[in-house]
Amino acid sequence: MLRGFKFRLTQDRHPASVEEYRQAAMRRLPSLVRAYIENGAEDEATLRANRGAFARWTLRQRVLTGTVKPRLETVIGGETITLPVMCAPTGFTALSHSSGDVAVARAAERAGTRIVLSTASSYSIEEVGAATNKPHGFQLYPFGNHEFAEGMLNRARESGYGALYVTVDVPVRGNRDAERRHGLTIPPVVSLGTALNCTFHPGWSLDLLRNGRLGAANYAPTGGLRGATMSDTITQQNRFMQTDLHWDDVAWMRDRWKGAFYIKGIMDVEDAVHAVEKIGVTGLVVSNHGGRQMDSAQGSLDALGAIGREVGGRAELILDGGVRRGTDVIKALCLGAKAVLIGRPYLYGLAAGGEDGVARVLEIFREELDRDLTLMGCPDIGLLDRSWLLPA
């Protein structure tokens, strides 16, 4: 009667979904890092809106189409990737796991995709460049200090990065209550409670003590800092961040970067048109920074709908914010995106399992996309458009 079954004593311990990776990561990380990764700005309305926007769409289900192994390839900035899911820039990745950005980039290459390395990465432009084989993207904040920005651009070019992503939605830091409560302020304040909480997470604490990196590596040589501690880094970052940044600053960068050029953090149709017509971008990342900057901003998928209609054929659109399932990726592609970026999902994988954890999260997206497209009867992501969507 039981022939054909396999038995084991315990259930499969490997997380089966992004949500299960989230739970595993939350168990491993102390409250300080959980606050840094998980929370959004103020009342987190935008954080919720990002997820809510996906729930308002359903997908058509066509049957008997003979769909076998749907095609997942897409071209971003002239580079073919075999999974339309890339890793978004996130600062201080080594707070999740000491292997940080190098592990994320290696896992992305294993999955046939790319990362966008943050300005505030834990591993430097050069370290990640040396550890990888493909041209990844580099994210730059539009520092008003052009000399500093030019230094970063040159370093990225010399280290083989193919695309530049200029993030424009941080003229000031978002108002994140949870981060403040945990002392992620300037300067950082570590309370006894926070320090005690770290001791309850010995795996994380030992990793930090043995191999930890608290600072943003890219600031060390450029800013002349010794080793760039966390507080040095934040001070440095603030010094360069300015509220009076303007389109001219981005145009200046466009002139100096010969490769693919994206603006990240576009949510408004008029801004999208300006970026395409006046700056000549390769593409736009429709993003509200994962709900971490302006609260009460629209869900990013909602913004994608309008932006896709206006500039869809004229620039590559990439969506991020709240992508957690293969079906979310599909909905974004139906509304005009060529690919999506994920932020927190790969940080969950990194925290729970280092490079292999990130690789597994990306594999989960691939498996879900394969299965979902087969169930929809769609043989190629290139065929996805609004006709596949129905309002929920």
Ligand X SMILES: Cc1cc2nc3c(=O)[nH]c(=O)nc-3n(C[C@H](O)[C@H](O)[C@H](O)COP(=O)(O)O)c2cc1C
Among 344, 348, 349, 364, contact with ligand X (rule: CB under 6 A):
344
Q: Please say which residue, 168 or 378, places its beta carbon nearer to ligand X.
A: 168
Using Cβ positions, the residue closest to ligand X within the complex turns out to be 343
Structure tokens at 25: 């990561």
Q: Please say which residue, 156 or 378, places its beta carbon nearer to ligand X.
A: 156
Report which of 345, 314, 319, 315 is spatially closest to residue 334, judged by C-alpha positions.
319
Among 32, 111, 115, 120, contact with ligand X (rule: CB under 6 A):
120
Residue type, 128: V
Tell me which H or E stretch contains 59. strand 57-59
Torsion, Cα 176 179 181 182, to 10 degrees, reads 180
x-or-dash string of contact with ligand X, 240-279, rule CB under 6 A: ------------------------x---------------
Among 174, 223, 343, 357, contact with ligand X (rule: CB under 6 A):
343
x-or-dash string of contact with ligand X, 121-140, rule CB under 6 A: ------------------x-
CA angle 150–175–348, rounded 5-degree value: 75
CA dist., res. 382 & res. 388, Å (int): 12
User: Is the peptide bond between 171 and the residue preceding it cis, with omega within 30 degrees of 0?
Assistant: no
Provide, rounded to whole angstroms, the least separation between the CB of residue 257 and ligand X. 16
Residue count (the chain): 392
CA dist., res. 16 & res. 34, Å (int): 21
Q: Where does this chain touch ligand X (CB under 6 A) — which range of 206-214, 218-226, 304-312, 320-328?
A: 320-328
Tell me which H or E stretch contains 32. helix 31-38
Backbone angles phi, psi at 170, to 5 degrees: -125, 60
Kindly identify the residues of this chain, within the stretch 5-44, that bind ligand X according to CB under 6 A: 36-37
Q: Please say which residue, 236 or 287, places its beta carbon nearer to ligand X.
A: 287
Q: Please say which residue, 70 or 291, places its beta carbon nearer to ligand X.
A: 291
Q: Please say which residue, 36 or 257, places its beta carbon nearer to ligand X.
A: 36
Provide, rounded to whole angstroms, the least separation between the CB of residue 96 and ligand X. 8
Contact 30, 376 (CB under 8 A): no
Kindly identify the residues of this chain, within the stretch 162-181, that bind ligand X according to CB under 6 A: 167
Backbone angles phi, psi at 206, to 5 degrees: -65, -40
Torsion, Cα 30 33 37 40, to 10 degrees, reads 100
Tell me which H or E stretch contains 389. strand 389-391
357 binds ligand X (CB under 6 A): no
Among 70, 129, 283, 321, contact with ligand X (rule: CB under 6 A):
321
Provide, rounded to whole angstroms, the least separation between the CB of residue 169 and ligand X. 8
Buried b (16+ CB within 10 A) or exposed e, 315-342: bbbbbbbbbbbbbbbbbbbbbbbbbbbb
349 binds ligand X (CB under 6 A): no
Provide, rounded to whole angstroms, the least separation between the CB of residue 301 and ligand X. 11
> Among 97, 136, 201, 289, which one carries the catalytic annotation?
289
Report which of 374, 33, 41 is spatially closest to residue 201, judged by C-alpha positions.
33
* Residue 229, number of CB atoms within 10 A of its CB: 17
Provide, rounded to whole angstroms, the least separation between the CB of residue 125 and ligand X. 13
Provide, rounded to whole angstroms, the least separation between the CB of residue 265 and ligand X. 7
Total residues contacting ligand X (rule CB under 6 A)?
A: 23
Q: Please say which residue, 132 or 233, places its beta carbon nearer to ligand X.
A: 233
Kindly identify the residues of this chain, within the stretch 44-83, that bind ligand X according to CB under 6 A: 50
Q: Please say which residue, 215 or 290, places its beta carbon nearer to ligand X.
A: 290
182 catalytic? Reply is: no
290 binds ligand X (CB under 6 A): yes
Residues that bind ligand X (CB under 6 A): 36-37, 50, 88-91, 118, 120, 139, 167, 264, 287, 289-290, 292, 320-323, 342-344
Catalytically active residues, by annotation: 289
